[in-house]
């Protein structure tokens, strides 16, 4: 019996700490990866216990300030071996609702605290907690409505020419050590860099689909997959944040529909000409 009570008490005690990590993991994928790599570690377990203690202490201090006395609340239950079973059940039933309410509030507090920490890791204030900090700059641009252009220098060299690609970053897969396993780009251009007279120069950027790229229908897509082993380095270039998205939605949709209609007419005219 006492073993069951101890287990129950331990679970109740740890709930805020456990939900802190759940809150941390719900904000976005990167936070989940932090948890996945750390939740089984001793540090994470120690953190969960420390957070649980902190939340319980704060909760009890707040309750004490409004007249609650923990000893008076628990003492009648401790006497369970000396009192009648019906009386014990009655005392237990009387305390179920307050206990459930306490658990709910402390668990929500743990979840909320975890969520706030995750937001601050991603937005920069607690970035030092992250292992690979640079990737958050990229996700932050995306979150704010911008995009990131990647200039990829490949390891493919022909004489003094190095094949390069430019495109809008769509997917990036990071390995456990923070290395790029692969990149997926959209709206791609190809060009090359040369060594000439000790200077690096780049050629004209050409669309991968040539002159047809702009004439492709809007409902088709392109992706350029670049294996990490073929990447020498990448320059990530962020765009400005796009604001006023709610206000500009109508203008965007109207221009988009007009563009689709105009491009359909153009394709029809080009088809008739050929």
Interface residue list for other proteins (CB under 8 A): 29-30, 33, 135, 138-139, 142-149, 151, 164, 166-174, 186-187, 189, 191, 193, 202, 204-207, 210-216, 218, 239-245, 247-249, 251-252, 255-256, 259-260, 263, 266
CA distances from residue 64 to 9, 58, 59, 206, 270 in whole angstroms, order as listed: 20, 10, 9, 71, 80
Taking the least distance from each CB to other proteins, the nearer of 54 and 157 is 157
Instruction: Quote the tokens at residue 272.
Output: 């008739």
Q: How far is the CB of 10 from other proteins (least distance, A)?
A: 32
Rg of the chain over CA atoms, in angstroms?
Answer: 30
Beta bridge partners of 174: 180
Q: How many Cβ atoms from other residues are within 10 Å of residue 172's Cβ?
A: 19
What is the Cα–Cα distance from 253 to 259, expressed in whole angstroms?
10
* Beta carbon of residue 124, minimum distance to other proteins (angstroms, whole number): 14
Cβ count within 10 A of residue 234: 17
Q: How far is the CB of 51 from other proteins (least distance, A)?
A: 24
Q: Which is nearer to other proteins, 104 or 173 (CB)?
A: 173
Q: In terms of CB distance, is 6 or 252 closer to other proteins?
A: 252
Q: Which is nearer to other proteins, 91 or 144 (CB)?
A: 144
| Least distance between other proteins and beta carbon 38 (Å) | 13
Distance CA 253, CA 1 (A): 66
CB of 248 to other proteins, least distance (A): 3
Strand partners, 41: none
Q: Which is nearer to other proteins, 125 or 212 (CB)?
A: 212
């Amino acid at each position: 019996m006492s073993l069951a009570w101890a287990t129950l008490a331990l679970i109740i005690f740890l709930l805020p700490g456990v939900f802190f990590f759940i809150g941390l993991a719900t904000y976005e994928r990167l936070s989940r990866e932090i948890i996945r790599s750390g939740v089984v570690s001793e540090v994470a377990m120690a953190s969960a216990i420390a957070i649980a203690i902190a939340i319980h202490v704060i909760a009890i201090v707040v309750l004490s300030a409004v007249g609650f006395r923990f000893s008076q609340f628990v003492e009648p239950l401790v006497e369970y071996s000396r009192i009648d079973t019906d009386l014990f059940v009655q005392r237990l039933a009387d305390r179920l609702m307050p206990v459930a309410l306490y658990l709910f509030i402390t668990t929500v507090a743990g979840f909320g605290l975890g969520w706030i920490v995750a937001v601050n890791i991603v937005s920069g204030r607690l970035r030092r907690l992250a292992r690979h900090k640079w990737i958050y700059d990229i996700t932050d641009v995306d979150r704010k409505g911008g995009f990131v252009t990647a200039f990829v220098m490949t390891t493919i060299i022909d004489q003094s020419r190095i094949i390069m690609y430019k495109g809008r970053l769509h997917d990036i897969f990071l390995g456990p050590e923070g290395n790029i396993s692969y990149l997926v780009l959209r709206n791609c251009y190809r060009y090359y860099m040369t060594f000439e007279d000790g200077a690096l120069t780049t050629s004209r950027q050409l669309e991968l689909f040539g002159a047809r790229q702009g004439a492709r229908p809007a409902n088709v897509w392109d992706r350029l997959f670049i294996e990490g082993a073929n990447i020498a380095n990448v320059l990530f270039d962020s765009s400005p944040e796009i604001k006023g998205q709610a206000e500009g939605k109508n203008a965007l949709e109207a221009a988009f529909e007009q563009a689709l209609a105009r491009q359909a007419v153009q394709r029809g005219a080009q088809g008739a000409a050929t």
